[in-house]
Amino acid sequence: MAHYIHFRDPTSMEIEKQLEGIPKCPGTCFFIDVINSTDIKYKSELKDWGKRLNNTFNFISFLNDLPENVVKGIGDELMLYIPDEDLFSKTAYNNYFGLIGEIHATIENLVNFPLEDTFLQCKVSIHYCTEVYNITFFENANDYYGMDIDLTARLMSKAKANRIVMSEKFFTKVKNDMIDNNIRIENTSLADLSGVYMEDFKGVPWPTEYRYIDVKEM
């Protein structure tokens, strides 16, 4: 449950005290954005694009044991956040390697689904967050704030259709899981993962390392 922050007095000292007491909430953030979402609204009717959005969001959230982790939909983009304690207690997967494996499989299933006009293609950005707080400024809402959330959103600028962009910080977590479980990357869905790139993202005061993988047609 998010810490609800609400003070009527803009000069209140109490708000600073309350904010200082809020713990960090490390975990994995990802954004999933629908490709050409504006385009399809001009080319089809609500009954068509609404259905495909419904199908796509269901596929992403329910089939990956993630409905509780959907923070919000922002237009045609989903923000999901999985606190570490939540990830480690999931039954469908319980580590970072399992998580990226299922996300990759999801995008691959969407790309290769044989019936046309059922799903929409997506792009994904993923980052492992340490500078993040489970707070909200709106009653009964859930949200996460912090510079790592902003960085996850910035990573999306390097994504395109059927591409998963992940920060090196997240990939390090995945790599550690593979080492712990004696898994070789060439035997996984990450076999075609790119080399590491470095980019200065707007507002981020230091360069960010990232990798990507393009999900292919079967």
Partner 1 sequence: MEITLNKSGDTNVVCIEGRLDTTNYGELEAQLTGLTDKNEKIILMDLSKMEYISSSGLRILLIFLKKLKAVEGRFMLCGMSAEIRDIFEISGFVNIFEIFDDKEAALNS
Residues that bind partner 1 (CB under 8 A): 55, 58-59, 62-64, 91-93, 97-98, 101-103, 105-106, 108-109, 112-115, 118-119, 187, 189, 218
Q: In angstroms, what is the minimal distance from the CB of 53 to partner 1?
A: 14
Query: Least distance in Å: CB of 189 to partner 1?
Result: 8
How many other C-beta atoms can be found within 10 angstroms of the C-beta atom of residue 45?
9
**CB of residue 188 to partner 1, shortest distance in Å:** 8
- CB of 95 or CB of 136, closer to partner 1: 95
**Through-space distance between the first and last CA atoms of the chain, rounded to whole angstroms:** 41
**DSSP code of 133?**
B
Output the smallest distance, CB 174 to partner 1, in A.
12
What is the residue-wise DSSP string for 166-213? EEHHHHHHHHHHHHHTT--GGGSTTTT----EEE--TT-SS-EEEEEE
- Residue bearing tokens 């009964």: 140
Q: Smaller CB distance to partner 1: residue 144 or 171? A: 171
- Six token digits for residue 182: 């004696």
